[in-house]
Structure 1
């Protein structure tokens, strides 16, 4: 995750942490030495619920600092750090947790004597750990401090990118159509609608049937107005057109509740959820 907005970063970390706790996983947060204190971080994520505080008391949530985690003797050693990662995973499994999720502030990589290329190599070397579905991790980089080259290199070696904000949409082109991820809500309504308009735009010189795939499996929320816009765009397509919408069960519920079954141009392909 690359970020510039600290408040948005905490929103992501809070959602990430609380999701792990609800799933019964162990959570390890590796904060920067100048970040919030442990107590303040817990209070920020807990928001009065008591769940995050209880998780820290039980050992389900652990908080440490990045310099001591990555540079225990004042220097960084890739092989030692890989062993530390494996050790934390093994410890979580031995303790009976069904999985472990880690989130780490990477500002330690800016410390004197740390070779950025070695850090990139370390990040790439973590790949085998992700083959185990019980392990998930976020490494976050402050774009105000890291160079564009370093951020780009890290994006290249990581299999997934984390959106900086919860209230945002991310639009990418796929082989068969368009993927829209994030949250289609009031603050992103215009961007979401424009993405739909562009994706389902007909060529001016043809009225032939239109076939398109819209991947919404990573859209975590869609308000009724945005869902209605999708149905409206599909309805306006020529007869024989087919828009296949891949989505989860919650979005299916929204779309069917607004009458998607009455639109022959619209087909829902509901992804199985673990």
Structure 2
């Protein structure tokens, strides 16, 4: 119902929407959390013919890391044998240096990115568990400086990075600062739905299905109430990767019944737009569906 255009800046998103050049934060709070994030990140990189390096928590045995990647398996094993999938550590990355410095780490990441390109891959993506800070007895403030001054690794270069922070180990103020320092913030697991409210806008990221349906309805209801005086609401679903038919009907029904709104604009990826259009009966005269995409 409207032409495709670029989506709004990244912000909070599911791991499936990471693109080359993204620098992402993800937090976790237990030993089993985040398995689906690193697995999806790794598999996506392999599918895109990128080289993938996983720097897991130093306390994890290599066999356990493979289990987190849903290994062993023929495809992952082959990727490992040909060097496309690499398990490593920050200690090994910065070798022979014995102590962490941002400059040494930046240098090695740039070298590994160039190496991936020379090997015929489209780029490099890394998953870095930040427990390396304790393993190398690094200064947390120096690490924070690295994180907030690393944009040169990503600008104009085919490099993507997830930094995973254990909320049990890092202080709340460090987690808060690092959450803000990263251009992208990931949902902690697959299947989650994240909602944000701002003036006349509801932003939804993740997956809207039977498990998150009530959360979706609550977010839309709040957005409609907050924007009643303005008589227009933007529903930004540009970071949504799945919308069930039931949730699509919920959105359309709420839009059709909102006599207080002259315009409800839904910004969403083409796949979500198709679901909404198929579910629509054409009675919502105040509804505009606008396709957006990340580039």
1:177·1:212 contact (CA, 8 Å) conserved in 2? Answer: yes
Does 2:224 match 1:200?
A: yes
1:184·1:226 contact (CA, 8 Å) conserved in 2? Answer: yes
Runs of 4+ with >6 A deviation:
none
Alpha-carbon distance, 1:260 to partner = 5.6
Relative to its length, the structure with more helix (as a share) is 1
The residue that corresponds to 1:17 in the other structure is: 42
Does 2:234 match 1:210?
A: no
Structure 1 residues 239 and 118, CA gap change in structure 2 (3 angstroms):
closer
Aligned-partner Cα distance in 2 for 1:104–1:221: 27
Structure 1 residues 41 and 108, CA gap change in structure 2 (3 angstroms):
closer
Aligned-partner Cα distance in 2 for 1:225–1:3: 30
Q: Please show how residues 10-89 of structure 1 align to structure 2 within 5 Å.
A: 10-37=35-62, 39-46=63-70, 50-70=74-94, 72-89=96-113
The residue that corresponds to 2:240 in the other structure is: 219
Q: Structure 1 length normalisation: TM-score?
A: 0.89
2:99·2:136 contact (CA, 8 Å) conserved in 1? Answer: no
| Residue-by-residue CA offset, 1:197-227 (whole Å, 9 max, x unaligned) | 1111267xx7x78211111011111111111
* Bigger Cα displacement from structure 2, 214-223 vs 51-60: 51-60
The residue that corresponds to 1:169 in the other structure is: 193
Structure with the bigger RCO (C-alpha within 8 Å, sep 6+) is 2
Q: Please show how residues 261-272 of structure 1 align to structure 2 within 5 Å.
A: 261-272=282-293
User: Unaligned regions of 5+ residues in structure 2, if any?
Assistant: 1-25
Does 2:256 match 1:231?
A: no
Structure 1 residues 250 and 209, CA gap change in structure 2 (3 angstroms):
same
* Bigger Cα displacement from structure 2, 21-30 vs 234-243: 234-243
Q: Please show how residues 243-254 of structure 1 align to structure 2 within 5 Å.
A: 243-254=264-275
The residue that corresponds to 1:125 in the other structure is: 149
1:210·1:237 contact (CA, 8 Å) conserved in 2? Answer: no
The size of the alignment, in residue pairs, is 270
Alpha-carbon distance, 1:112 to partner = 6.5
Alpha-carbon distance, 1:89 to partner = 1.0
User: Unaligned regions of 5+ residues in structure 1, if any?
Assistant: none
Structure 1 residues 246 and 126, CA gap change in structure 2 (3 angstroms):
same
Q: Structure 2 length normalisation: TM-score?
A: 0.83
Aligned-partner Cα distance in 1 for 2:261–2:197: 23
* Bigger Cα displacement from structure 2, 135-144 vs 103-112: 103-112
1:246·1:270 contact (CA, 8 Å) conserved in 2? Answer: yes
| Residue-by-residue CA offset, 1:56-77 (whole Å, 9 max, x unaligned) | 1221111102333357544212
Does 2:184 match 1:160?
A: yes
Alpha-carbon distance, 1:266 to partner = 1.4
Structure 1 residues 20 and 113, CA gap change in structure 2 (3 angstroms):
closer
Structure 1 residues 102 and 227, CA gap change in structure 2 (3 angstroms):
same
Structure 1 residues 24 and 260, CA gap change in structure 2 (3 angstroms):
farther
Alpha-carbon distance, 1:128 to partner = 1.5
